[in-house]
């Protein structure tokens, strides 16, 4: 039986095991998690609240899909988005730090990317996703993935695994 309930049909057994380990470690360490999501649209937050008995480790999630939401909800500087682009390592880092400021969480994870290439942006690379993980102690790690043009759903599901791996490292466990 899957540990996750609502997302069970879409979640692989590997992701299921990882989310359970991450949540159990967060609970054992009395640490809370928050997400700042763009291209995943809250999918990671949904996954982290889907495990019975562990969801109290999740403090809150921010779905900052638009540039305006990144600026308003997470305090990402407008100039940074203009200069670097909404899908960039600096913006992912600013999103993770902004989620720390706007929450009570101990660890935040951000994700911003292109699940598919938007038709109005010829420079966008389908499957390019930037992640950042920030901790209340001041730690920050970033990661970039080039999943390729797998399709919207496959890229979003792949982001779950990468995000869980980053949270596991922040909790110093093996996902």
- Domain borders along the chain are 21-170
pLDDT in tens, 116-171: 988 888 889 999 999 999 999 999 999 999 999 999 999 999 999 999 999 999 99
What are residue 102's phi and psi, to 5 degrees? -95, 10
* Confidence band, pLDDT 50/70/90 cuts, at residue 175: low
pLDDT in tens, 28-58: 999 999 999 999 999 999 999 999 999 899 9
3-state SS assignment for residue 126: coil
* Confidence band, pLDDT 50/70/90 cuts, at residue 11: confident
pLDDT at position 10? 72
First to last CA, the chain: 19
d(CA 50, CA 26): 15
Q: Among 12-16, 18-22, 63-67, 146-150, which stretch is predicted with the lowest mean pLDDT? A: 12-16
Own/partner contacts of 128-132, CB < 8 Å, gap of 24 or more, are 128/87, 129/39, 129/87, 129/155, 129/159, 129/162, 130/87, 130/88, 130/89, 130/91, 130/92, 131/92, 131/159, 131/162, 131/163, 131/166, 132/89, 132/92, 132/93, 132/95, 132/96, 132/97
- List, in sequence order, every beta strand (DSSP E) within the chain: 33-37, 58-63, 107-113, 128-135, 140-146
Question: Strand order in 33-37's β-sheet?
Answer: 58-63, 33-37, 107-113, 128-135, 140-146
Regarding pTM above 0.85, the answer is yes
pLDDT in tens, 103-120: 999 999 999 999 998 888
Tokens standing for residue 138? 């001041």
* Confidence band, pLDDT 50/70/90 cuts, at residue 4: low
CATH number at 21-170: 3.90.950.20
d(CA 103, CA 142): 20
Check: CB of residue 83 under 8 Å from CB of residue 110. no
- Mean pLDDT for the chain? 93
């Amino acid at each position: 039986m899957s540990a996750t309930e609502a997302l069970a049909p879409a979640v692989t057994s590997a992701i299921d095991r990882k989310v359970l380990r991450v949540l159990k470690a967060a609970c054992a360490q009395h640490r809370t998690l928050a997400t700042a999501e763009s291209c995943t649209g809250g999918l990671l937050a949904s996954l982290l609240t889907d495990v019975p008995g562990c969801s109290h480790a999740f403090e809150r999630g921010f779905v900052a899909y638009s540039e305006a939401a990144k600026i308003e909800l997470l305090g990402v500087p407008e100039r940074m988005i203009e200069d670097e682009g909404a899908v960039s390592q600096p913006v992912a880092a600013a999103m993770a730090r902004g989620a720390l400021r706007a929450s009570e969480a101990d660890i935040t994870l951000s994700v911003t990317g292109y699940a598919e290439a938007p038709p109005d942006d010829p420079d966008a690379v389908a499957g390019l996703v930037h992640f950042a993980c920030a901790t209340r102690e001041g730690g920050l790690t970033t990661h970039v993935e080039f999943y390729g043009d797998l399709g919207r759903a496959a890229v979003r599901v792949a982001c779950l695994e990468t995000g869980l791996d980053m949270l596991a490292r922040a909790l110093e466990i093996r996902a």
